[in-house]
Amino acid sequence: GVSVLIMLDAVTSGLAFIVGSRVLPGVPSRGAAREVASEGPQESAAVSAKRRRLLWSTTAFMAGFSFLYEMYLTGAAGLFRIHFGAGGLRVFSIAMIVNTVLCSIFAVGAARAFRNPNIALPWGLVLNAAGAAISLQFHSSTAAILGGMFVLTLGEIFYGSMGQFVLIQIVPEGEK
C-alpha cells in the first residue's frame, strides 16, 4: 500500500527532474536577461554573485521545506500505525490518496492563478504547518487526520505553485 505510493512519488519526482533538465536549458530567464543587459561588465559580475547567493539560499530553503514535509509524512504514517494498529496504514494511505488527487486537480490552476510568490509561499508554509499540527494533535480522529491532510494539501498547492517558478527565475542565464 504505502510503499507503492512512496515509490510512485519517487519515480515521478525523478522523471520530472530528468524531463526538466532536458527542457529548461532552452527556456530563457526574463529577469536575468534584463538585469545583465542593463548592467555593465563589472556590475553584471556583481549581480551574478548576488544571484548565486540567492539561488543557493532559495535552493536550501526549498530543500529544507521538502525534507520537513517528507519527515512529517513518514512520522504520520508511523503515528497512525501506532494509534490505529494495522488499520493505521490504511488511514494514512487514504490521506495520501486525497493529497495526490487534490494536488493533481488544483496544481495547474493554482500555478496560473497565483502571481505573487510573496503571498503564495508564506501562505503555503502556514497551511502546511497548520495541516500537520491538526492531523498530529488530533490523531485519534480519522476526520481530523483527513482534515489536517486537506489543509496540508492546500499548503502544498500554494507552495508548489510558486516555489519552482521562483527557483527557475533566479538561475543565472548561462546555467540553465
Ordered mean pLDDT values, 10 residues apiece, the chain (176 residues): 71 77 57 50 61 78 81 81 82 83 86 84 87 83 81 88 79 60
Report the predicted TM-score, pTM, of the whole model to 2 decimal places. 0.64
Q: How much is the pLDDT for 45?
A: 58
CB 95 within 8 A of CB 145: yes
Residue found by looking up cell 505510493 in the block? 5
Minimal CA–CA distance to 168: which of 68, 37, 28?
28
Q: How much is the pLDDT for 98?
A: 81
Minimal CA–CA distance to 91: which of 14, 6, 149?
149
- Backbone torsions φ then ψ of 151, nearest 5 degrees: -65, -45
